[in-house]
Amino acid sequence: MRREQRTTPQRSVALVFLAASLAALTACVPGTDGGDSDQASGFPEDDIEVIVPFAAGGPTDTVTRMIGEPMGESLGVQIVVQNVEGAGGTVAAGQAATAAPDGYTMLMHHIGMSTAPALYDDLPYDPLTDFETVGLVTEVPMTIIARKDFEPNTLEELVAYVEANQDTVTLAHAGVGSASNLCGLLLQDAIGVTLQEVPYDGTGPALADLVGGQVDFMCDQTTNTTGQITGGEVKAYAVTTPERVESLPDLPTTTEAGLPDLQVSVWHGLYVPAGTPEDVIAVLTEALQTALADQGVIDQMADLGTAPVDADQATPEAHRALLEEQIGVWGDIIGASQGG
């Protein structure tokens, strides 16, 4: 006959103490609900917004959407892109800087993050103190392109043409501080001319007007121009990198075409507001690295003349080091161009 097990008062007290002890231990274990030692526990629980400082369809938007889907799959949520245009990216960056530092708002920005301090006296944010870096994404070559019926056929001819017609030639760009604007400034400096500039709210609409023949020429990233170049919608003169790009093998470099001093490429990186917990940033960085290793992303970037950065560059540390270095570099370049 089975003997019934009874709980004595002493046993009840022991069980209470045991339960309390287990609860206390659980509170100390990272990743449980019992404490704050792992603030990223459960993150993310909702969709994440990525603010893009330029129009939909532009190169920064393209890069963002390219990595957004695999990042979202890795995180188990949706990556929602919000395009906030204006003032060469400063409106979007200012909005992102004041967002809640919880990892649910990120900013995708390019080289313009490092040039803004030299371009704007009343910048509403500090790139180094108002943001935390998540990781670099890609470095994109620039191309020099024109409307397809523009008279010059080579970069050498383009240089001669703008020298003779600098009062009437129009140079489009995506707004002050944009990558296309910076490339255009370097181009004018290399040629020794001052052209009539036509700013847009993003290279998407600028490129649309170029294809439509409303402006003469511009600089733009391969992620935005490769399709138009290979499709014959625009006339291409050169790529602004030391080596040719695989997606445009017939396009010469600026060095080959006679402008060796015109060298520029556009790096992109992800940011979150200052104060975002380190463990949340670590989750986002891991998702970024996963996305950059995705073969689909690698193939898409290759088709557009670029490639993901190596994993050791897709880190907060490497990203911040480049940002600090580039702020100094562009501060000197822009200061010199402005007579400072």
User: How sure is the predictor about 283, in pLDDT bands with cuts at 50, 70 and 90?
Assistant: very high
d(CA 43, CA 112): 30
- Looking at the structure, tell me whether residues 207 and 276 fall in a common domain: no
- Looking at the structure, tell me whether residues 105 and 170 fall in a common domain: no
User: How sure is the predictor about 7, in pLDDT bands with cuts at 50, 70 and 90?
Assistant: very low
Tokens of 244: 């040719």
Residue 127 lies in a domain: yes
- What does the pLDDT read at residue 339? 62
- Looking at the structure, tell me whether residues 128 and 150 fall in a common domain: no
CA-nearest of 196, 169, 202, 161 to 58 is: 202
- Per the CB < 8 A criterion, the answer to whether 160 and 151 are in contact is no
- Looking at the structure, tell me whether residues 147 and 225 fall in a common domain: yes
CATH number of the domain to which 232 belongs? 3.40.190.10
d(CA 321, CA 328): 11
- Looking at the structure, tell me whether residues 131 and 271 fall in a common domain: yes
Where a domain ends, among 224, 239, 254?
239
- Looking at the structure, tell me whether residues 135 and 145 fall in a common domain: no
- Over 50: is that where the pLDDT of 237 sits? yes
- What does the pLDDT read at residue 40? 66
Provide mean pLDDT across the span 161-179: 92
Positive or negative torsion for Cα 183, 201, 136, 101:
positive
For residue range 197-219, what is the model confidence (pLDDT) as tens digits?
Answer: 999 988 889 999 999 999 999 99
- Over 80: is that where the pLDDT of 3 sits? no
- Over 80: is that where the pLDDT of 15 sits? no
Helix (H) or strand (E) holding 236: strand 234-239
- Looking at the structure, tell me whether residues 70 and 117 fall in a common domain: yes
Q: Return the higher-pLDDT residue of 30 and 287.
A: 287
User: What's the Cα-to-Cα distance from 55 to each of 84, 124, 317, 324, rounded to whole Å?
Assistant: 7, 21, 29, 26
239 residue type, one letter: V
Residue 129 lies in a domain: yes
User: Burial of 238 by CB count in 10 Å (0-12 exposed, 13-18 middle, 19+ buried)?
Assistant: buried
- What does the pLDDT read at residue 106? 98
Provide mean pLDDT across the span 92-111: 97
- Over 60: is that where the pLDDT of 118 sits? yes
Among the residues of 102-221, which ranges form H helices?
A: 112-119, 155-164, 179-191, 203-211
Least confident of 22-31, 118-127, 238-247, 254-263: 22-31
- Looking at the structure, tell me whether residues 113 and 179 fall in a common domain: no
Domain with 304, as residue range(s), is: 48-139+266-337
For residue range 309-322, what is the model confidence (pLDDT) as tens digits?
Answer: 999 999 999 999 99
DSSP string, 8-23: -HHHHHHHHHHHHHHH
CATH number of the domain to which 89 belongs? 3.40.190.150
- Over 70: is that where the pLDDT of 8 sits? no
Tokens of 145: 């392109």
Residue 251 lies in a domain: no
How far is C-alpha 110 from the chain's CA centre?
Answer: 4
Tokens of 316: 């907060």
Where a domain ends, among 200, 223, 239?
239
- Per the CB < 8 A criterion, the answer to whether 79 and 260 are in contact is no
Provide mean pLDDT across the span 37-49: 81
d(CA 36, CA 33): 8
- Looking at the structure, tell me whether residues 97 and 77 fall in a common domain: yes
| CA-only gyration radius of the chain, Å | 26
Provide mean pLDDT across the span 90-118: 96
Helix (H, G, I), strand (E, B) or coil at 145: strand
- What does the pLDDT read at residue 22? 37
- Per the CB < 8 A criterion, the answer to whether 118 and 124 are in contact is no
Residue 30 lies in a domain: no
Provide mean pLDDT across the span 278-283: 98
Residue 247 lies in a domain: no
Residue 43 lies in a domain: no
- Per the CB < 8 A criterion, the answer to whether 202 and 54 are in contact is yes
- Over 80: is that where the pLDDT of 260 sits? yes
Provide mean pLDDT across the span 137-149: 96
Strand partners, 135: 270
Q: Are strands 170-173 and 217-221 parallel, antiparallel or unpaired?
A: parallel
Query: pTM for this structure?
Result: 0.79
Q: Return the higher-pLDDT residue of 297 and 338.
A: 297
Q: Are strands 234-239 and 196-199 parallel, antiparallel or unpaired?
A: unpaired
- Over 60: is that where the pLDDT of 186 sits? yes
- Average per-residue pLDDT in the chain? 88
- Over 50: is that where the pLDDT of 16 sits? no
Q: Return the higher-pLDDT residue of 88 and 131.
A: 131
CA-nearest of 267, 207, 279 to 236 is: 207
Query: Total domain count for the chain?
Result: 2
In eight-state DSSP terms, residue 91 is H
- What does the pLDDT read at residue 12? 41
301 residue type, one letter: M
- Looking at the structure, tell me whether residues 92 and 149 fall in a common domain: no
